[in-house]
Amino acid sequence: MEDGQQKEKVKPLGFLKPSSMMTVSSRFKTHQDSLPRLPVPPLQQTLDHYLKALQPIVSEEEWAQTKQLVEEFQTAGGVGERLQKGLERRARKMENWLSDWWLKTAYLQYRQPVVIYSSPGLVLPRQDFVDRQGQLRFAAKLIEGVLDFKARIDHETLPVEYLGGKPLCMNQYYQILSSCRVPGPKQDSVTNFSKTKKPPMHITVVHNYQFFELDVYHSDGTPLTSDQIFTQLEKIWNSSLQTNKEPVGILTSNHRNSWAKAYSTLIKDKVNRESVHSIQKSIFTVCLDAPMPWVSEDVRRSQVAGQMLHGGGSKLNSGNRWFDKTLQFIVAEDGSCGLVYEHAAAEGPPIITLVDHVIEFTKKPELVRSPMVPLPMPKKLRFNITPEIKSDIEKAKQNLSMAGRGCPVSAPHPPPPTPSMIQDLDITMLMFHHFGKDFPKSEKLSPDSFIQMALQLAYYRIYGQACATYESASLRMFHLGRTDTIRSASMDSLTFVKAMDNPDVTEHQKVGLLRKAVQAHRAYTEQLPFLQAIRGEAFDRHLLGLKLQAIEDLVSMPDIFMDTSYAIAMHFNLSTSQVPAKTDCVMFFGPVVPDGYGVCYNPMEAHINFSVSAYNSCAETNAVRLAHYLEKALLDMRALLQSHPQAKL
Ligand code: COA
Ligand code: HC5
């Protein structure tokens, strides 16, 4: 075995102590308290790894310059030491020195729209219904499935998850339901209503831009059955047939500062305030979407991805959302289904565990028909639209889905029209069917590292150079841990991708370089999340911590955060994430830089679902092209390994 295998296993929370001895909530607390705290890695280790990670992506001159700055930064008694001490103090005082800072930096203070720029989407396998009846039946079953999962959260009976043999922090599961992001003028917040005195008993349903509060529990606390939910959904449908309503939800798609301003205007009105509060407080949202325009099967997948990520525009389903809501399921009449989720509260994996549960649940046949009890009409959430609010809605529509603002076309040299957010998104799906995790495993290679190296090869073949590459890595083995960064571009990966198309390098040598590059990536992953703080390679969150500590403690920013190398290192042209699921679904998100790509993948045993996103406004990027090169890279790498079976030993 070349490298350690990470086994994801589950054990029920009850394994910690005999369950009869403990209350349910103490089991959860005991588990959480037993998790290690996120340490602060040694300063020198982080700086060494930073310099190492820069090598494949900056010039020799830039590297030499940075090396000098790093040396100055870490001189005894210097700025580095002072910041490190500050961080260590913070770590002693807090449950997790990073989590608040990360929440603010990565999400709440990020002012770009959540749509495309932050919220990921997911497409579920297409369901076999083609009409409204089927749509509502499926939506009802899905809602029942989520409530079934919610019972496990509420009773704290969710099994503890494991990664690499380590138990994981389960806190994120308690953040994904009954929560919502709330815009603020400089910084947003996330409110979670699940632990309030009166936790919500309702979900939000949206149809034709009209929002409804649907109670999903009876007064005795039992959840409605899917038959009962179906009846309620029919009532909602029939009382929202008008298609001329103001798409008030589209406000949530705007730039956060604009939305925060519009929000304060919107909630001045009591009726509006109550409606917004009901949406924010609801357990989750279900969007019953109008059909999307017909397109060929080829472009359909991308269209559905767009439908999940942004709704398709103000004339289609973008008004059928409340993008600040943590979890929104989307069910369309033509069988397209999926979700979009607001990222601040949680990472993808807890959402996927929920999805896997729900999809299994929807497959269960209905054994007994539940009695039809009279249920009240779901409450319609009303909005009073003043001229000011109408104007805010128009601006949000413009930004999201209407091109060409600003300068009149009659001007002597009109600038090219600004594409709307939706026009700017270039997204494609790659359903890679030639092999899945099975092939790299048969070669005793980590599938994730193999895929990352294929991405490095694809990128290099297009651009002739490596770029700063981000891969999400879980820090959930620590209490309240979220993510760190695996930097997939290494000197080993660069040597391999350069060799791959070099006729002077023998096939045998290429096999060796491929394996070495895959192993280097695996080493980064394994030693990563501060687990072996002495040898770990991840440094990104520590470096961020030092920078934020500098903002708190110093009057000027240390030079290492101001030089070109740092800017290059943080400009992730490739932003990637593996999110494995049992369900055969595809997930996606937008690039994090204007000239970059977002790549998400779900490796299944015998195939891999990829999504690739880019921006149309960047002439140098093209999602279909990268997807095509990625497919070729995966196939070439397999062919190389298969042509040299002896190299396995
Ligand atoms: N030989 C044979 N099999 C191997 C192997 C090897 N050398 N190395 C790994 N494998 C096996 C593993 O045992 C595992 O088996 P399974 O399919 O039975 O579970 C499988 O291959 C997958 O392992 P690998 O591809 O190496 O990935 P991983 O599961 O270790 O995941 C990360 C790597 C970085 C994705 C993971 O550590 C992580 O952090 N995941 C969370 C990412 C995240 O949070 N994303 C969302 C952000 S919102
Ligand atoms: C349903 C798939 C969700 C994947 C989301 C994801 O990977 O988000 C990353 C979170 C992190 O902290 O690394 C961020 N990223 C999309 C920019 C990679």
DSSP per position, 164-195: TTEE---GGGGTSSSEEEE--SS--EEEE-TT
The pLDDT, as a whole number, for residue 555 is 86
Nearest ligand to the CA atom of 102 = 2
For residue 2 and ligand 1, the question of a CB distance below 6 A is answered with yes
**Residue of the CA atom closest to atom 8 of ligand 1:** 446
Q: What is the pLDDT of residue 23?
A: 46
Percent of the chain having pLDDT more than 90?
Answer: 83
Output the CA–CA distances (angstroms, integers) from residue 447 to 130, 164, 502, 629, in the order listed: 37, 14, 25, 18
What digits encode the pLDDT tens for the residues 24-51?
A: 456 788 899 899 999 999 999 999 999 9
Query: How confident is the model over 549-578, as a mean pLDDT?
Result: 96
Residues serving a catalytic function are 343
Name the band, by pLDDT with cuts 50, 70 and 90, for residue 407: very low
Question: Is the predicted pLDDT of residue 648 greater than 50, yes or no?
Answer: no
Contacts of 598 (CB under 8 A, 6+ apart): 575, 576, 588, 589, 590, 591, 592, 611, 612, 613, 614
Q: Is the CB of 476 under 6 A from ligand 1?
A: no
pLDDT at 646: 55
Cα(548) to ligand 2 centroid in Å equals 22
* pLDDT given for residue 535 in this prediction: 38
Residue nearest to atom 3 of ligand 1 (CA): 441
For ligand 1, mutation pick of 478, 578, 641 (most atoms within 8 Å of CB): 578
Ligand 1 centroid–CA 138 distance in Å is 32
Question: Around Cβ 30, how many Cβ atoms within 10 Å?
Answer: 13
pLDDT band with cut points at 50, 70 and 90 for residue 297:
confident
Residue 7 CB less than 6 A away from ligand 1: yes
What are the φ and ψ backbone dihedral angles of 577, each rounded to 5 degrees?
-160, 130
Q: How far is the CA of 121 from the centre of ligand 1 (A)?
A: 22
> Quick one: pLDDT at residue 402?
84
pLDDT of residue 26: 65
What letter would DSSP give residue 31? Answer: H
Quote the pTM value. Answer: 0.94
Ligand 1 centroid – CA 553 distance (Å): 39
Tokens of 166: 């380590």
Centroid of chain to Cα 59: 32
Average pLDDT estimate for 591-618: 98
252 Cβ inside 6 Å of ligand 1: no
Q: Show the 3-state SS of 468-515.
A: CEEEEEECCCCCCCCEEEEECCCHHHHHHHHHHCCCCCCHHHHHHHHH
| Residues linked to residue 223 through DSSP beta bridges, in sequence order | 217
CA dihedral 31, 34, 35, 36 (to 10 degrees): 180
Token pair recorded at residue 205 = 């349903």
Residue bearing the CA closest to ligand 2, atom 13: 472
pLDDT tens column, 243-252 = 999 999 999 9
**8 Å CB contact between 647 and 515:** yes
Atom 2 (ligand 2) nearest CA: 348
Beginning with the edge strand found earlier in the chain, give each strand of the sheet holding 285-289 in spatial order: 379-381, 210-215, 202-207, 285-289, 327-332, 337-341, 121-123, 586-588
The whole-angstrom separation of Cα 527 and Cα 495 is 22
Cα 598 to middle of ligand 2, angstroms: 9
Cα-to-centroid distance, 340 and ligand 2 (Å): 13
Q: Is 583 in the pocket of ligand 1 (CB under 6 A)?
A: no
CA-closest residue to ligand 1 atom 46: 348
Q: Is the beta carbon of 519 within 6 A of some atom in ligand 1?
A: no
Q: How many CB atoms lie within 10 A of CB 446?
A: 25
Pairwise CA distance, residues 590 & 595, whole Å: 11
What is the CA(470)–ligand 2 centre distance, in A? 10
Q: Where are the beta strands (DSSP E) in 322-387?
A: 327-332, 337-341, 379-381
Question: What residue owns the CA closest to ligand 1's atom 31?
Answer: 448
Strands of 40-164 (E only): list them: 121-123, 160-163
Residue from 589, 504, 565, 159 nearest 357 by CA: 159
Residues with CB under 6 A from ligand 2: 120, 122, 347-348, 351, 472, 482-483, 575, 577, 579, 587, 589, 592, 600
Mutation to probe ligand 2, out of 343, 469, 597, 610 (largest number of atoms < 8 A from CB): 343
Residue 299 has φ and ψ, to the nearest 5°, of -90, -5
CB atoms within 10 A of CB 129: 18
Q: Distance (Å, rounded) from C-alpha 243 to C-alpha 319? A: 11
